[in-house]
Amino acid sequence: MVMPCIKDKIKMTRESMINKIVIQSFLMICDVILIIILSLIFHISALMTSSKVVYVPKGSVTQIITYLQENNFAISKNVDKYLLYLIGQPQSGWINVGENVLTRGDFFYKLSHAKAAMKTLTLIPGETTIVFLQRCAQEFNLSFEKLLSIYNQVSPYKEGLLVPDTYNIPMGISEKHLIYYLVHESEIIQKKNAYKIFGEYNKKKWYKYLIVASIIQKESANKTEMPIVSSVIYNRLRKGMKLQMDGALKYGLFSHKKITPQRIKEDKTKYNTYRWRGLPDDPVCSVSMDAIAAAIFPKKTKYLYFVKNNKGVHSFSETFSQHKRNVKKLH
């Protein structure tokens, strides 16, 4: 009779130990889950800094996380990827997060649900970068000095890079984000246009065409005249003549200034094609695709001179004597 009792006791002890192990394992799992939850709460509630407006590219959550990391946001690739999956797919485009300091959870929530108030700003062909940036500063309450400084740091070209277009820009954008956006978008278009025409993007070669195109842009009365003005530029260059074109002097802050004999006499920069032979070292202004096409494909003419007539367009001539007669008709 003793043996069954011992067996029962052994069985009960074994079951007790198993129950104890199960309970301990359960408690350990609960502790781990609690630690994970507390860590996640701490992670979500941690403060981070951000610009008030953030640009989010199109792409997968992983691509967006990588982009944010590359742009100096305090993002964890391993943790925040799953956090974004839970909160929702971020929107693409400009997002108004509204604050410079906010919790990580608020930041991700706004990426998924907020939108930025947009305002359009148009860069017209023939406008100079410096004048356009002055207008950007006024329209978006930004520092012109910062805009110009950042542009000079990141732009591959001194002038002529920004593509004439109407840009949708978010209110509250910073100087850095605005310049990066304008330069990035324009570089894509410039390279795309170069590949379309030449099948490659040769930076030095393309820049020379931008220089010619900028003078064409400033000098031409309309799109039809552009290839003819282009032919005059190349004809004069081939003959070693000075270009002597007022449009080249309408650079920078002189974009809308009238060219006077005094200005021609005093300006000693390479933009003064009355003083120096050849092309300026840099474009004069932003240029349209029509002007670029004219610079690459000039019309075949023997014209060396042109003057604006009473109809608001130009009269072209091959000889100086013919040019003088055209000028005389204006009086």
**Is the pLDDT at 320 greater than 70, yes or no?**
yes
Helices (H), the chain: 2-45, 61-70, 77-87, 104-113, 129-140, 144-154, 175-198, 203-219, 226-238, 261-266, 289-296, 320-328
Cα four-point dihedral sign 154, 156, 157, 162: negative
Q: What is the per-residue pLDDT for 71?
A: 78
Predicted confidence band at 42 (pLDDT cuts at 50, 70, 90)?
A: low
Average pLDDT over residues 249-264: 94
The predicted-structure confidence for 194-247, as pLDDT tens digits, reads as follows 999 999 999 999 999 999 999 999 999 999 999 999 999 999 999 999 999 999
For 279-295, the pLDDT digits (tens) are: 999 999 999 999 999 99
State pLDDT tens for residues 3-33: 566 656 665 666 677 777 777 777 777 767 7
Residue 1 scores a pLDDT above 60: no
How far is Cα 234 from Cα 304, in angstroms, rounded to an integer? Answer: 9
pLDDT at 257: 92
CB environment 83-104: b (16+ within 10 A), e (fewer): bbeebeebbeebbbbeeeebeb
Q: Rounded mean pLDDT of the chain? A: 87
Ranges of each domain in the chain: 47-113, 118-300
